[in-house]
Amino acid sequence: MIANIAAGFWDVLGEMAPYLLLGFVVAGVLHVFIPQKMVERQLGGRRVWPVVKATIFGIPLPLCSCGVIPVAASLRRSGASRGATTSFLLSTPQTGVDSILVTYSLLGPVFAVFRPLAALVTGVLGGSLVSAVECDEEVKTTAGSSCEDNCGLEATRGAKFSRALSYGLVTLPRDIGGALLVGLFIAALIGTFVPNDFLAGVLGGGILAMLVMMALGIPVYVCATGSVPVAAALIAKGVSPGAALVFLMTGPATNAAALATVWKIMGKCTTFIYLGTIVVTALAAGFALDFIFKFGGTVPALSAPTTLSTSFKSVSAVALLVILGFAVLKRSPYSGAAPAGETEALPDGEAVVLRISGMTCSHCVESVSRALRECPGVQAVTVSLQKGEGVVKGEDLDADELVRAVEGLGYKAAVSEYNAPNARVKE
């Protein structure tokens, strides 16, 4: 039994490893060469074009449903329209360049093309609806700093490539490694213990199967990449491709914590449109995909049409397992000061320590660090994901302003310690 589970785990790992490693590298390049500030500059205005651009920007970015929220909040504060922000929130967590390549490796080209197209439709539709509907709530926007992520530093091409590899092969695996390994293990369990075609009789296709998959996907956090092996295993046991797609769309795009935060930073009107768009487009996409496979005379490929040798897959699987294992076992506090996770040198002087709850990944840390650095008087910032705290040093620090900057991203923050005589804390 254990041998069967291990064999199933290894088979899925081997199929996805070459593509996921490539996806990690490409994601690193996108992270370095398409910085958040550049995205912010493109998403102003109230017409449809910013909504479309936000969706296109969001689809390849490897951001989860929790990590995308502070980025979206920053976009909103920097002048992005409500519709563009919503389209970014809808499209980004559903896919990423890594999850698209993994989808190709495990579910074939039709699924790999259809999935980002569904995310595109979801983002444009949801963003357009939000732009068209007059909602009472309005998030206050403040002008952000004009400083880029590495203000004052002119990085060489070699340094940028090093940062891209560091993000793609260290930071990103650290963020999704645990969820991905869990997904592989669940897929192996399904493959071992669920009889072939068993789920076809229990669920199969149709609206009931899609609603069940939606009920599983909406309330809990599901990684866009880690969910693909689970979807492949469900299809192999009889679940329709459309029902699996519903799970792949609703799981990564929503969870209870993310919905609560969207409510807080965007308002209830936008949140209802956000959730309603996900539900409607997921069901429509599910029926459309089932139609394609049924009447197109094709079946979902449970592995990519590839000429890659078995030995190459095995080497890639070992490399991926080492990277993921190192990322999970050696996960350390991440500082948003540098892409490689280094800690900023903190100068002597006033210091404020904040307790921060709600951070889940390196993108959260980067967003918090950026927001704190933009506050008046701040000279250096160190944010720890493991400890759930941020240390800010500078001159004439306003502790209340620091707390507001963090809470504006959707997190909870409170001052736990300060040694600044001039720091102002609300009684």
Predicted confidence band at 261 (pLDDT cuts at 50, 70, 90)?
confident
Judge whether 423 lies within some domain: no
**Are 105 and 187 in the same domain?**
yes
The encoded tokens of residue 52 equal: 């479309």
Please count the other Cβ atoms lying within 10 Å of the Cβ belonging to residue 184. 23
**Statement: residue 313 has pLDDT above 50:** yes
Tens of pLDDT, residues 350-388? 889 999 998 888 888 888 998 999 899 999 999 998 889
**Short-list 195, 236, 179, 231, CA closest to 210:** 231
For residues 195-211, one letter each, b for 16 or more C-beta atoms within 10 angstroms of the residue's C-beta and e for the rest, the string is eeeebeeebebeeebbb
Distance CA 70, CA 359 (A): 9
Q: Do 362 and 243 have their domain in common?
A: no
Residue bearing the bigger pLDDT, 176 or 91: 91
| 206 within domain boundaries | yes
Q: Which of 244, 278, 243 is nearest to 259 (CA)?
A: 278
Same domain, 22 and 158: yes
pLDDT for res 316: 92
Is 333 a member of any domain? no
Same domain, 319 and 369: no
In-domain check, residue 109 = yes
Residue 266 falls inside a structural domain? yes
pLDDT at residue 30 in the model: 82
Q: Residue 311: inside a domain, yes or no?
A: yes
Residues 269 and 322 in one domain: yes
136 and 255 co-located in one domain:
yes
Query: Do both 407 and 279 map to the same domain?
Result: no
State whether 274 and 377 are in the same domain: no
Is residue 343 assigned to a domain?
A: no
> CB of 139 within 8 A of CB of 84?
no
Last residue of one domain, picked from the residues 326, 359, 387 = 326
> Which tokens go with 151?
């203000």
Would you place residue 50 in the very low, low, confident or very high pLDDT band (cuts 50, 70, 90)? confident
Domain co-membership, 311 together with 356: no
Rounded to an integer, the average pLDDT of 110-120 is: 94
pTM value is 0.78
Does the pLDDT at position 339 exceed 60?
no
User: Are 279 and 389 in a shared domain?
Assistant: no
Beta pairing class for 350-357 and 412-418: antiparallel
Domain count across the chain? 2
The range of the structural domain enclosing residue 369 comes to: 350-418
Helix (H) or strand (E) holding 143, with range, is: none
What is the domain-level CATH number for residue 390?
3.30.70.100
Q: Tell me which of 28 and 42 has the higher pLDDT.
A: 28
Q: How many CA atoms lie within 13 A of 83 on its CB side?
A: 21
Both 35 and 142 in one domain: the answer is yes
* Top-confidence range, 11-25, 187-201, 333-347: 11-25
Residue 393 three-state SS: strand
Same domain flag for 34 and 136: yes
- Predicted pLDDT of residue 33: 80
Q: Which of 292, 326, 360 is the last residue of a domain?
A: 326
Phi, psi (degrees; rounded to nearest 5) at 81? -65, 160
- 157-166 pLDDT tens trace: 778 888 888 8
Instruction: Report DSSP letters for 27-62, one per residue.
Output: HHHHHHHS-HHHHHHH--SSSHHHHHHHHHHHTTS-
